[in-house]
């Protein structure tokens, strides 16, 4: 089985395998495992021909992608995991999709996700839960759970997701793959369905760090259709890697298995030449999750307003409502799932006159404090090391009735979104036969250093 893009590329270029063999390898895995895992919501069949017609010298030649179903692929259904968009067909390619196609990537299908990217388990999809390929009783994480599961089940060798509070990194950790959230503003979001716009980033999921970097390099850059994008990337050539570990991350609320696995991983890197590990402190990290919840829900309530049944919604599939209000009630009432409704209500409340200062403004102030603490803490180190998740992949149904417990899954990932930092999750060990992920963060626009460190650590942990 061909696992990485690099491997597929080499074998295709030197004629060891044919495009047909690559395509049928993935398609037969889909046939074998998609019923059980429900990782892909739609599957495209022209992969062989598309690889055959691709110029072999292109950087993404040999890559076969599962795309999260909130990223527009022209002429294909794009549901965002919601009943509201069940019959919506994308009228154009998202900028990232255009770039993938131009650079030789091929798309094999659209991947399941929590509705409008709200969730940590893919249980909030209107089209059924995705199951973790390592244990079908367990969740694959979320919201990009379909992409992560598709990679882990060898249905593709590349994935594209979105990350608002951890939705690329947390499922990657749960499924034992690599997931990268770029610096805010490095990758265009034009054609990605918005969740919370001051946090949202598009990024790669892959089978190794090198592939994640290759995909990132192919999709990044300024786009006039997303005004926050820039070309900026910094690199300071370093011989040694200095790693900071925030002591707050290893105190409470983290499972003993995860803690042990991470401590072992840290011991392994400490032994290596040229890696220095130091303790750091980010005292306000404990306020990151509450601040994220308020700001995220506020932005969600604004972004979800467009699903009114007039521009997008169920309206076209049912008899016309008698007036505008009834149209809203039908479309939004029946179209949105429970979690989306909870967040719309919470966000509308937090933004309402009289509460705005107490909640939204306060949370924004906390966000500034956390960003500043991260800036200070990282000024003396190259990367910051934390767990990706506080627990191993949990059982399907275990947390779905307890939204607070579910939201705790994001405790280590939301800080990167609050502060706009680049962050990567990569496998660093196993517990109870399940994958454990480590997260590395760097200063803004320092993706190159982050990838360098991640590649070194990956080589150590894979030994």
Smallest distance from ligand GLN to CB 80, Å? 11
312-343 burial, b for 16+ CB within 10 Å, e for fewer? bbbbeeeeeeeeeeebbebbbeebbbebbeeb
Which one from 63, 82, 125, 143 is the annotated catalytic residue? Answer: 143
338 noted as active-site residue? no
Instruction: Choose the binding region for ligand GLN from 16-24, 115-123, 344-352, 378-386 (rule: CB under 6 A).
Output: 115-123
Residues 62-91 vs ligand GLN: string with x where CB under 6 A? Answer: ------------------------------
- The only residue of 157, 164, 229, 298 in contact with ligand GLN, by rule CB under 6 A: 164
Question: Closer to ligand GLN at the Cβ: 202 or 434?
Answer: 202
Based on CB atoms, which residue is closest to ligand GLN, 164 or 439?
164
CB of 410 to ligand GLN, least distance (A): 5
Q: Is 166 in the site for ligand GLN (CB under 6 A)?
A: yes
Q: Considering the rule CB under 6 A, would residue 118 count as an interface residue with ligand GLN?
A: yes
Q: Among 74, 429, 459, which Cα is nearest to 259's?
A: 429
Contact 330, 108 (CB under 8 A): no
Residue 47 or 117: the one with the smaller Cβ distance to ligand GLN is 117
Residue 167 near ligand GLN by CB under 6 A = yes
Q: Which of residues 264-323 bind ligand GLN (CB under 6 A)?
A: 296
116 DSSP 8-state letter? G
Region binding ligand GLN by CB under 6 A among candidate stretches 113-121, 125-133, 387-395, 446-454: 113-121
CB atoms within 10 A of CB 73: 25
Q: Which stretch binds ligand GLN (CB under 6 A): 7-15, 158-166, 265-273, 362-370?
A: 158-166
Give me the DSSP letters along 201-265.
EEEEEESSHHHHHHHHHHHBS-BTTBTT----------SSEEEEEEGGGGSSS--HHHHHHHHHH
Determine which one of 167, 188, 218, 378 is catalytic. Answer: 167
Sign of CA dihedral 165, 171, 176, 177: negative
Helix, strand or coil, per DSSP, at residue 407: helix
Element (H, E) at 100: helix 95-102
Q: How many residues bind ligand GLN (CB under 6 A)?
A: 14
3-state secondary structure 293-359: HHHHHHHHHHHHHHCCCCCCCHHHHCCCCCCHHHHHHHHHHHHCCHHHHHHHHHHHHHCCCCCCHHH
What Å distances lie between residue 435 and 123, 140, 148, 222, CA to CA?
20, 11, 12, 35
- Regarding 133 and contact with ligand GLN (CB under 6 A), the answer is no
Minimal distance, residue 321 CB to ligand GLN, in Å:
31
Report the nearest approach of ligand GLN to the CB of residue 140 (Å): 13
Site residues for ligand GLN, 192-211, by CB under 6 A, read: 195
Minimum CB separation from ligand GLN for residue 420, in Å? Answer: 14
Task: State yes or no: is 378 an active-site residue.
Answer: no
Closest separation in Å from C-beta 114 to ligand GLN? 7
Sites for ligand GLN among residues 405-424 (CB under 6 A): 410
Residue from 62, 133, 146, 165 in contact with ligand GLN (CB under 6 A): 165
Q: Per CB under 6 A, does 143 bind ligand GLN?
A: yes
* Cα angle: 216, vertex 221, 222; to 5 degrees: 155
402 CB-near residues (< 8 Å, 6+ apart): none
Candidates 43-51, 112-120, 223-231, 309-317: pick the segment binding ligand GLN (CB under 6 A).
Answer: 112-120
- Is 203 or 309 the residue whose CB approaches ligand GLN more closely? 203
Closest distance between ligand GLN and the C-beta of residue 401, in Å? 16
Nearer to ligand GLN, 113 or 436 (CB): 113
Q: Burial level of 398, CB count in 10 A (0-12/13-18/19+)?
A: middle
Stretch that binds ligand GLN, among 159-167, 215-223, 247-255, 431-439 (CB under 6 A): 159-167
The DSSP output letter for 188 is: -
Binding span for ligand GLN by CB under 6 A among 161-169, 236-244, 353-361, 433-441: 161-169
68 among known catalytic residues: yes
Element (H, E) at 43: strand 40-43
Q: Comparing C-alpha atoms, which of 248, 291, 258, 252 is closest to residue 414?
A: 291
Bridge partners of residue 279, in order along the sequence: 245
For residue 143, whether the previous peptide bond is cis, meaning omega lies within 30 degrees of 0, is: yes
Tokens representing residue 226 in the block = 């997303």
Answer yes or no: are the C-beta atoms of 119 and 406 closer than 8 Å.
yes
In whole angstroms, the minimum distance from the beta carbon of 426 to ligand GLN comes to 18
Closer of 9 and 194 to ligand GLN (Cβ): 194
d(CA 284, CA 286): 5
Q: Does 447 bind ligand GLN (CB under 6 A)?
A: no
Helix (H) or strand (E) holding 364: helix 362-378
Q: Does residue 83 sit in helix, strand or coil? A: helix
The one among 4, 54, 120, 301 contacting ligand GLN by CB under 6 A: 120
Q: Please identify every residue annotated as catalytic.
A: 68, 143, 167
The residues of the shown chain that bind ligand GLN, judged by CB under 6 A, are: 117-120, 143, 162-167, 195, 296, 410
């Amino acid at each position: 089985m061909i696992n990485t893009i690099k491997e597929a590329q080499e074998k295709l270029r030197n004629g060891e395998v044919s495009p047909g063999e690559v395509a049928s390898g993935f398609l037969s895995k889909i046939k074998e495992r998609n019923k059980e895992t429900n990782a892909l919501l739609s599957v495209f069949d022209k992969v062989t021909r598309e690889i055959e017609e691709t110029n072999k010298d292109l950087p993404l030649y040999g890559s076969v992608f599962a795309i999260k179903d909130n990223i527009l692929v022209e002429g294909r259904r794009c549901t965002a995991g919601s009943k509201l968009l069940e019959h919506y067909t994308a009228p154009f390619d998202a900028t990232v999709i255009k770039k993938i196609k131009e650079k030789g990537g091929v798309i094999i299908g659209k991947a399941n996700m929590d509705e409008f990217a709200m969730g940590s388990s893919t249980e909030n999809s209107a089209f059924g839960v995705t199951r973790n390929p390592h244990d079908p009783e367990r969740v694959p994480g979320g919201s990009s759970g379909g992409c992560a599961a598709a990679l882990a089940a060898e249905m593709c060798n590349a994935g594209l997701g979105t990350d608002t509070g951890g939705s690329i990194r947390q499922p990657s950790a749960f499924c034992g793959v690599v997931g990268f959230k770029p610096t805010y503003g490095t990758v265009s979001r034009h054609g990605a369905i918005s969740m919370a716009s001051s946090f949202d980033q598009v990024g790669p999921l892959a089978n190794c760090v090198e592939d994640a970097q290759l995909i990132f390099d192919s999709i990044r850059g300024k786009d006039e259709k997303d005004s926050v994008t820039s070309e900026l990337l910094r690199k300071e050539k370093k011989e040694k890697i200095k790693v900071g570990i925030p002591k707050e991350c290893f105190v409470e609320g983290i499972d003993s298995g995860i803690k042990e696995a991470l401590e072992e991983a840290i011991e392994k890197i400490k032994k290596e030449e040229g890696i220095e590990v130091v303790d750091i402190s980010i005292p306000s990290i404990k306020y990151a999750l509450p601040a994220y919840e308020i700001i995220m829900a506020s932005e969600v309530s604004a972004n979800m307003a467009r699903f009114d049944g007039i521009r997008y919604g169920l309206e076209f599939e049912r008899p016309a409502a008698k007036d505008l209000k009834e149209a809203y009630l039908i479309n939004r009432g029946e179209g949105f799932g429970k979690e989306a409704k909870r967040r719309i209500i919470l966000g509308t409340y937090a933004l309402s006159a009289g509460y705005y200062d107490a909640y939204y403004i306060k949370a924004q102030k906390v966000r500034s404090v956390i960003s500043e603490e991260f800036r200070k803490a990282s000024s003396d180190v190259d990367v910051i090391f934390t767990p990706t998740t506080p627990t191993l992949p949990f059982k399907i149904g275990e947390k779905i009735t307890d939204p607070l417990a579910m939201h705790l899954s994001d405790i280590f990932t939301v800080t990167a979104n609050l502060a706009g930092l680049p962050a990567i999750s990569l496998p660093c060990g196993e517990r109870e036969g399940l994958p454990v992920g480590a997260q590395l963060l760097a200063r803004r626009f320092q993706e190159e250093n982050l990838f360098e460190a991640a590649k070194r650590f990956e080589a150590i942990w894979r030994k």
